[in-house]
């Protein structure tokens, strides 16, 4: 049972998240021939102040 975990900054629409789950499922099904029913996708949303790149949190102006 493949489990795909994605961590992303919160704020995307419900439709965008549904599309991401659908496309990740499609990709796993095609790439590793996993049965669609066995594929799990977990989206972990974090606030921008909890996500940093190059020492700067994403809530800070760039």
Q: In the annotation, is 48 catalytic?
A: no
**Catalytic annotation, pick one of 2, 35, 47, 61:** 2
Q: Which residue, among 13, 1, 16, 4, has the nearest Cα to 44 in the 3D structure?
A: 4
Catalogue the E-assigned strands of 1-62: 3-9, 40-46, 52-53, 56-57
Catalytic residues: 2
């Amino acid at each position: 049972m493949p489990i795909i975990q994605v961590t992303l900054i919160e704020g995307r629409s419900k439709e965008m998240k549904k599309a991401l789950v659908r496309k990740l499922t499609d990709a796993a099904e095609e790439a590793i021939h996993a049965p669609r029913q066995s594929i799990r996708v977990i989206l972990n949303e974090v606030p921008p102040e909890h996500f940093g790149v190059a020492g700067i949190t994403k809530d800070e102006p760039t």
